[in-house]
Amino acid sequence: MAYLFTSESVSEGHPDKVADQISDALLDNFLAFDPESKVACETLVTTGQVVLAGEVKSDTYLDVQQIARDVINKIGYTKGEYQFSGDSCGVISLIHEQSKDISQGVDRGSKEEQGAGDQGMMFGYATKETENYMPLALDISHKILQILADLRREGKEISYLRPDAKAQVTIEYSDENVPQRIDTIVVSTQHDAFDADDEKMLAKIKSDIISILIPKVKEQLPAHIQTLFDDAITYHINPTGKFVIGGPHGDTGLTGRKIIVDTYGGKGAHGGGAFSGKDPSKVDRSAAYAARHAAKNLVAAGVADEILVQVSYAIGVVEPTSIYVDTYGTAKVNLNDGQIARKVAELFDMRPFAIEERLKLRNPIYLETAAYGHMGKEPITVTKTFESPYNGRVEKEVELFTWEKLDMLDQVKATFGI
């Protein structure tokens, strides 16, 4: 019997994502001027206010207030009528030094013996469903909001958009887990106040989303995915009515509240640990990236059509406490999931420092992860510039999304005899 599966995404202007981006911008600046920084930054945003908190151990000093303001302005909160603006909001910093009780278990004389920054379990997932090995419903949800943001910044075809938005996509699957059609698309977007009455305003927004936004989304998808869009899709566009009040003025935002948006949209599994604002000694982040790297390379190499990789740690302990694999019965090799897991442990060194080195995680690469998902993006090399009144100006060439590289295919194929 066919079934429905749903994933959602939120825009860069969503309050929780504003908080995530500020936390990761702070992390990037600390790492740019001191790559050995230990950082755990949390952010709260609300009407006219930003609160920064957390623990940092670093040899550098930053103007954290200005970094936060720059992020807010770049997102698009630049007008007084939004009740939240990078130029006018208050920014309170409560950041303090990392606990020595924690750092003594993580820092070691040899970097190779660096212990995990926390206990817990992290998951990585990959599926052949899309070209980037991500779940389809989440991939489309991200694209809807990325293109909506492009339209907002251009201000031509749709001129009334404000930064806060959410999207949700429901896909109908066959018994064989193959996508058949898109059943429902939900888009809620913040907008300027209209002179027209609410009914005309909502009709205009719905028409623009369906006739302007959705065709642009389809254009970015491969032909076999485009066929899933049909005339029977149910659209819910701003279903609660007008959405003028939004962003941090409409809803308080906090770092780490969109962990499913950040990962796999409800597919696979999640260990519960958030990513943004955490340096790579925190395995909540680095091990989740490493698990995705492993899962993606395994699926791409043909080990299985769908794979979940779990890795777990004890705080201060170097070696992971377990590595687990679930292929959901899609394995293409003559091994059970336990045997596959043992080979994964041989192929991918999951010690914290080994992950940092392999994926080049002690670089300022994190702001780009903080909206539209940490997984599924194209690995690219860019040059980033950081300026500080205390540290001067630095330029760094860095690789973004290294955990998305298919750089282990040959090793995986050789190990599994593919």
CA separation for the pair 277, 280 (Å, rounded): 10
> Facing residues of 189 across strands?
165
pLDDT for res 246: 87
Q: Which residues are annotated as a binding site for L-methionine?
A: 55, 98, 251, 282
The size of the chain, in residues, is 418
Could you tell me the sign of the dihedral formed by the alpha carbons of 358, 269, 9, 142, in that order? positive
HSE at residue 59, side-chain half, CA atoms within 13 A, is 5
Q: Which residues are annotated as a binding site for ATP?
A: 14, 164-166, 242-243, 251, 257-258, 274, 278
pLDDT for res 71: 97
CA separation for the pair 376, 134 (Å, rounded): 6
The residues near 333 (Cβ < 8 Å, ≥ 6 apart) are 303, 304, 340, 416, 417, 418
CA separation for the pair 140, 155 (Å, rounded): 22
Low-confidence stretches of the chain (pLDDT < 70) are 1, 98-112
Distances (CA, A) of 391 to 21, 66, 302, 394: 22, 14, 48, 9
Which of helix, strand or coil describes residue 321? coil
- 217 phi and psi, to 5 degrees? -65, -45
Q: Which residues are annotated as a binding site?
A: 14, 16, 42, 55, 98, 164-166, 242-243, 251, 257-258, 274, 278, 282
pLDDT for res 117: 77
Domains of the chain by range and CATH? 3-9+136-247 (3.30.300.10), 15-106 (3.30.300.10), 120-128+257-416 (3.30.300.10)
- The helix-helix angle for 283-301 and 409-416 (nearest 10°) equals 60
Torsion of CA 97, 101, 102, 104, to 10 degrees: 100
Q: How far is CA 159 from the centre of its chain?
A: 27
CA separation for the pair 369, 367 (Å, rounded): 5
* Residue 45: both structure tokens together: 């945003």
> Which among 309, 403, 364, 268 is positioned nearest to 24, based on CA atoms?
364
- The helix-helix angle for 409-416 and 337-347 (nearest 10°) equals 130
pLDDT for res 197: 82
Q: Which residues are annotated as a binding site for Mg(2+)?
A: 16
The residues near 400 (Cβ < 8 Å, ≥ 6 apart) are 365, 368, 377, 379, 380, 381, 382
* Residue 41: both structure tokens together: 């930054």
Q: Which residues are annotated as a binding site for K(+)?
A: 42
> Which among 149, 28, 17 is positioned nearest to 72, based on CA atoms?
17
**Per-position DSSP letters for 47-66, written without gaps between them:** TTEEEEEEEEE-S----HHH
